[in-house]
């Protein structure tokens, strides 16, 4: 983005655009960069249509009022550490 705009750093960005706009933009970028992408593991090897079954599991979980989140008692990546 910086190369396209001809900007070298945040100060150049603030000189070209309103400081309030830049601060909001940087805040948005920071939130996007820190967003954790959910990863789920399901054993669907025996399923005839695994994608359809996975979708059904998510739908049933949501209907039951269970929130599907990144938070759990066991980190999904801990097994790879």
Contact 8, 2 (CB under 8 A): yes
Delimit the domains of the chain by residue range: 2-34, 37-69
Q: What is the pLDDT of residue 19?
A: 81
Structure tokens at 51: 């994608």
Residue written as token pair 């940087």 = 26
CA distances from 80 to 42, 52, 65, 68 (A): 17, 28, 30, 22
Taking the C-alpha atoms of residue 68 and residue 58, their distance in angstroms, rounded to an integer, is: 8
What Rg, from alpha-carbon coordinates, does the chain have? 21
12-63 residue pLDDT tens: 877 888 888 888 988 998 998 898 877 777 788 888 888 898 888 888 888 8
Global pTM value: 0.39
């Amino acid at each position: 983005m910086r190369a396209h705009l001809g900007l070298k750093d945040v100060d150049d960005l603030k000189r070209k655009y309103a400081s309030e706009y830049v601060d909001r933009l940087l805040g948005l970028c920071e939130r996007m960069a820190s967003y954790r992408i959910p990863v789920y593991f399901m054993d669907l090897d025996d399923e005839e249509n695994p994608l359809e079954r996975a979708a059904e599991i998510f739908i049933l979980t949501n209907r039951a009022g269970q929130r599907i989140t990144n938070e759990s008692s066991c980190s999904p990546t801990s097994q790879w550490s």
